[in-house]
Amino acid sequence: MIRSMTGFARAEEEKGGILCSVELKSVNSKHLNIDVNTGGRFTELEIKASRFLRDHLRRGTIKAYIDILFMDQADVIQPDMGMASAYYRALNQLADKFKIADRISLDVMTKMKDILRYKVSPELMEKIWDCAKIALGKAVTDLNKDKEREGENLSQAIRSYLTSLRQIANSLKEESKGFLEFYREQLKKRVEEILNFEADKNRLEQEVVILAERADISEEIVRLFSHIDSFEKLLDKDGECGIQLDFLCQEMHREFSTIAAKSKKLSITSLSIEGRTLVNKIREQVQNIE
């Protein structure tokens, strides 16, 4: 089953007095890009979570938001006594200089952000990671389910386009059968209009064969059917296939462009334009596939 690169999941886990909440948001991208945000409090957790997600996800831009709540007492906020002393002395100097009666209160001191700092012991970080790892696992599972649901919708839309594309390929095959007669009439009419006399039959046949060979699109049609078959097989295959599907879209677009360039037959040109339009619609959907 194919997966979309677009999805969302939320999960929670409580373990060892720690509550971890995880949100995952995924959008399309050519490569795997992971951004983990813990509010700047747990850098080590961000690194570990990024590695975990890289091992379990394959493609897309992933934004992960992790919130840690301590259910029990935890010594994670500690004062920087050296910085606090420096602030205290500086503030008192200002008060003395400008004859400010108010002395320095605890409320004023705690507003200095670099006095109170997060400091997590290795043991506590291990407990946090044990909890976060479970929450991340749950979120990844739910994210993949969400991406599979969206992938099924994409698959249905693409299969509908492929059916139309196969019909166009069949129409091209039928239209290409009368090439010799078409070019014979076109060339004969052109010669008679320009030179105002009946063209030499042998010479005309030689030119018709040359033109027909140059305009032969049978190989392009065979490759077009092959690309459509390969596309359908990939849609039935488990695992990531977005890059391969995108490559097939490029190849199908190239075949239609070559057909349009080779043929001077209006019906074939119209079919090739219709085909390229469909391929572009398919490619828009493929851009979202993992």
In the chain, where are the structural domains located?
A: 7-74+120-147, 78-116, 148-286
Do the domains 148-286 and 7-74+120-147 match in fold? no
Give the pair of three-digit tokens for residue 33: 């890009």
Percent of the chain with pLDDT over 90: 51
Residue 7 confidence (pLDDT): 95
Q: Under CATH, which number does the domain 148-286 receive?
A: 1.20.140
Q: Averaged over 171-194, what is the pLDDT?
A: 64
Architecture of domain 7-74+120-147: 2-Layer Sandwich (3.30)
Q: How confident is the model at residue 195 (pLDDT cuts 50, 70, 90)?
A: very low
> In angstroms, rounded to a whole number, what is the distance separating the alpha carbons of residues 237 and 35?
29
Q: How confident is the model at residue 178 (pLDDT cuts 50, 70, 90)?
A: low
Q: How many CA atoms lie within 13 A of 243 on its CB side?
A: 9
Q: Directed axis angle between helix 266-286 and helix 122-175, to 10°?
A: 170
Instruction: Provide the residue count of the chain.
Output: 290
Query: Look-up: residue for tokens 């990531």?
Result: 240
User: What DSSP letter does each residue of the chain carry, written as one string?
Assistant: ---BS-EEEEEEEEETTEEEEEEEEEE--SSEEEEEESTTS-HHHHHHHHHHHHHH--SEEEEEEEEEEESS----EEE-HHHHHHHHHHHHHHHHHTT--PPPPHHHHHTSTTTEEE---HHHHHHHHHHHHHHHHHHHHHHHHHHHHHHHHHHHHHHHHHHHHHHHHHHHHHHGGGHHHHHHHHHHHHHHHHH-SPPPHHHHHHHHHHHHHHT--HHHHHHHHHHHHHHHHHHHSSS--HHHHHHHHHHHHHHHHHHHHH---HHHHHHHHHHHHHHHHHHHHHTTB-
19 DSSP β-pair partners: 14, 69
**CA nearest to 103, candidates 115, 83, 89:** 89
Convert the pLDDT of each residue in 200-244 to its tens digit.
556 555 655 555 556 678 889 999 999 999 999 999 887 788 889
Contacts of 216 by beta carbon, 8 Å cutoff, 6+ apart: 176, 179, 262
> In angstroms, rounded to a whole number, what is the distance separating the alpha carbons of residues 194 and 197?
8
Residue 194 confidence (pLDDT): 46
Residue 248 confidence (pLDDT): 95
79 DSSP β-pair partners: 116
Residue 262 confidence (pLDDT): 79
Residue 147 confidence (pLDDT): 94
Q: Cα separations (Å) of 165 from 160, 245, 249?
A: 9, 15, 12
Q: Averaged over 36-60, what is the pLDDT?
A: 93
Q: Is the pLDDT of residue 65 over 50?
A: yes
